[in-house]
Amino acid sequence: MNTDTPLLTMRGVRIDGFADERWTPIVKGVDLTLHRGQVLGLIGESGAGKSTLGLAAMGFARPGCRISGGEILFDGIDLMRASEAEKQALRGVRIAYVAQSAAAAFNPAHTLLEQTIEAPVRHGLMSAAEAADYARTLYAAMDLPDPDTIGDRYPHQVSGGQLQRAMTAMAMCAKPDLIIFDEPTTALDVTTQVNVLAAMRKAIREFGTAAIYITHDLAVVAQMADRIKVLRYGEEVEEAPTETMLAAPKHPYTKSLWAVRAIRKPGETGPDKVLELNGITAAYGTIPVLRDISLAVPRGKTVALVGESGSGKSTTARVITGLLPPVAGEVRFEGAPLPPALRGRSRDQLRRIQMIYQSADTAMNPRHTVHEIIGRPVQFYLGKSGAEVTARVSQLLDMIELDDSFMDRLPGELSGGQKQRICIARALAAEPDVIICDEVTSALDQIVQEGILKLLMKLQRTLGLSYIFITHDIDTVRAIADEVVVMFQGEVVEQGLKEQIFAPPHPAYTELLLSSVPKMETGWLEDRIAAQARTASGG
């Protein structure tokens, strides 16, 4: 294997997008070189062209885009001149893609195993039995539960974090030469993320695979990448070995990326409790998922629910909103018990507790305009109509720092950060007292994250809102939370003021969460894995 010859060479690549009846440059003459066994990290804020460039490495452009110039060579194959059939023969076999949204990558009608082995079997690389054995090996490497049988499950029968790991196994099953990772650990809790990153690193090194790792998480790219390339507005800002980039970024923009994690916490407000959960036990069918959960949300404050995938965070939100009536216990709002089921609550009770979801893409109807999306709760909860609705939508757009030109836009015409702002405006339209934020920044790059968090904190100070902030991002918790509730396997492990929770000594699980947060230093992942091994062996 000749490692001196690049596996992938991209020279002067230009990619255009079609909008407003004309083609507009998205990627503007970017170069990229990648050798076997090397990992290149692509970072930059939303709209920088990271994913667009990553897809172009497969000779692919999204609908509405075109690769308009430059050269793309994969192992000597000219992807700019190759036929569609030739490119299709490479994709999924020699070049694999791991997307951010695992739910969209799987067919709900087929088992995980059927879909994992499809590429190597269809292309004649392995028999079905050989592929199935290898898939189970990958499931074990990805730390999936019951690796010998989890492949028999359907996508809806596993958690989001498990599905993300299964998607990574599916991409690796054909033993590709190049894997493009597009924000693959964004939705994972920190402890799961460590295991997935370690499995990815192991597989890349074992098979000499090259990888392009697209992310907005600087600590993650520090663990995964040998080199880092920074993009902005479709142009290269700078590129350097990872250690050099972390220690001494040259460009002012790169320095600004390194600095965006420092966010101020919201101002102090009243101490009274607006929402309480007392002894909540909940189950899906006969399977218990919450056990004797009690917590309180002070008025005007932020309570963060943290824990790994499957700990019960989102289930707690479903109980609060009435989507999952508890088996035992009660939810109290301003001292009075709330009906356990959604259908038993009054319109005013529904109005006062709103929710913002992780995926703005699936939370909005793609055929409704921004005016319709925000205006609907204005009509439903406040009884307004006609010009009153339009006036209120205009006010709400101003509150989320957008202007009236957005009213007639569809979700597909918005950036990720703009979509999440519209979802915030929709929640505000009901004039609530409590907003549940379920991983609302996890899919956004860090500069956009900072903008969303600052907006939420500004709204909290202005409107006196209370937030329940469900997240696996410990840095976000440090930045915005007043109180923290740590959950594990459906139970509360620890809760209290943020300063108390983050001050040692910690219960074992809290210590695991805090120690699993990736640091912006090379070698952290290896040190963390070694520490886990020592703990497991009793050393």
Residues 516, 194, 490, CA angle at the centre, nearest 5°?
A: 70
Which two three-digit tokens encode residue 109? 């009608």
Residue 188 is predicted with a pLDDT of: 66
Q: How many CB atoms lie within 10 A of CB 127?
A: 12
Euclidean distance between CA atoms 471 and 498, whole angstroms? 14
535 pLDDT band, cuts 50/70/90, is: low
DSSP conformational letter for 264: P
Handedness of CA 513, 515, 519, 525 (dihedral sign): negative
If asked whether residues 29 and 56 sit together in one domain, one would say: yes
| pLDDT for res 533 | 66
Q: Lowest mean pLDDT of 404-418, 457-471, 493-507, 515-529, name the range.
A: 515-529
Residue 261 has pLDDT above 50, yes or no: no
Considering the domain architecture, whether residues 235 and 339 belong to the same structural domain is answered as no
151 pLDDT more than 90: yes
Same-domain check for residues 250 and 386:
no
Q: Is residue 111 part of a domain?
A: no
Residue 516 lies in a domain: no
Residue 146 lies in a domain: no
- Number of domains the chain is built from: 2
Instruction: Give the SS3 label for residue 9.
Output: strand
Beta carbons within 10 angstroms of residue 398's beta carbon: 12
58 phi and psi angles, rounded to 5 deg? -95, 5
Structural domain span for residue 241: 1-91+226-259
Q: Give yes or no: residues 403 and 483 share one domain.
A: yes
Whether residue 469 sits in one domain with residue 333 = yes
Higher pLDDT, 221 or 356: 356
Question: Per-residue pLDDT averaged across 308-318, rounded?
Answer: 88
Close Cβ partners of 201 (under 8 Å, ≥ 6 residues apart): 223, 224, 525
CA pair distance 205, 72, nearest whole angstrom: 24
Determine the average pLDDT of the residues in 246-271.
Answer: 62
Tokens linked to 106 = 């799987």
Nearest-CA neighbor of 96 among 181, 35, 195? 181
Return the CATH number at 250.
3.40.50.300
Same domain, 314 and 250: no
Task: Answer yes or no: do 434 and 400 share one domain.
Answer: yes
Tell whether 435 and 301 lie within a shared domain: yes
For residue 23, what are its two tokens? 């083609």
Q: Is residue 195 part of a domain?
A: no
End-to-end CA distance of the chain: 40
Token pair listed for 496: 């209290």
**70-109 burial code (b ≥16 CB/10 A, e <16):** bebbbbeeebeebeeeebeebebbbbbbbbbbbbebbeee
CA–CA distance, 168 with 164 (Å, rounded to integer): 6
What pLDDT was estimated at residue 301?
A: 92
Looking at residues 89-111, what average pLDDT do you find? Answer: 87
- If asked whether residues 254 and 286 sit together in one domain, one would say no
More confident position, 508 or 342: 342
Q: Token pair of 524, please?
A: 């952290």
Residues in the chain: 539
The continuous run of DSSP H or E covering 422 comes out as: helix 416-429
In this predicted structure, what is the pLDDT of residue 186? Answer: 67
pLDDT of res. 267: 38
pLDDT at 260 over 70: no
Residue 220 lies in a domain: no
Q: Could you read off the pLDDT of 237-255 as tens digits, one per residue? A: 999 999 898 888 888 888 7
Alpha-carbon dihedral sign for residues 207, 209, 214, 216: positive
DSSP letters for 342-359 = GGGS-HHHHHHEEEE-S-
pLDDT at 328 over 90: yes
Residue-wise DSSP of 319-380: HHHTSS--SEEEEEETTEEPPSSGGGS-HHHHHHEEEE-S-HHHHS-TTS-HHHHHHHHHHH
Does the pLDDT at position 259 exceed 80? no
Q: What's the rounded mean pLDDT across residues 310-324?
A: 92
Kind of pairing between the strands at 434-438 and 353-356: parallel
Q: What is the pLDDT of residues 19-67, one digit of tens each?
A: 778 898 999 999 999 998 889 999 887 778 898 999 999 999 988 899 9
pLDDT in tens, 465-476: 999 999 877 888
Residues 230 and 374 placed together within one structural domain of the fold: no
pLDDT digit string, tens, across residues 420-448? 889 999 999 999 999 999 888 776 767 77
- Within a domain: 264: no
Cα–Cα distance measured from residue 366 to residue 377, given in angstroms and rounded to the nearest whole number: 17
Number of neighbours of residue 372 by Cβ within 10 angstroms: 17
Arithmetic mean of pLDDT over the chain: 86
If one counts every other C-beta atom within 10 angstroms of the C-beta of residue 343, the result is 7
The encoded tokens of residue 487 equal 């959950």
Percentage of the residues of the chain whose pLDDT score is greater than 90? 47
Residue 460 lies in a domain: yes
Please check whether residues 245 and 375 belong to one and the same domain: no
Report pLDDT for 352: 93
| Residue 354, pLDDT above cutoff 80 | yes
Determine what percent of the chain is predicted with pLDDT higher than 70: 93
Q: Is residue 193 part of a domain?
A: no
User: What's the mean pLDDT in 195-207?
Assistant: 74
In tens, the pLDDT along 106-119 reads: 999 999 999 999 99
Same domain, residue pair 314 and 378: yes
- Hey, which residues does 74 pair with through a beta bridge? 8, 77
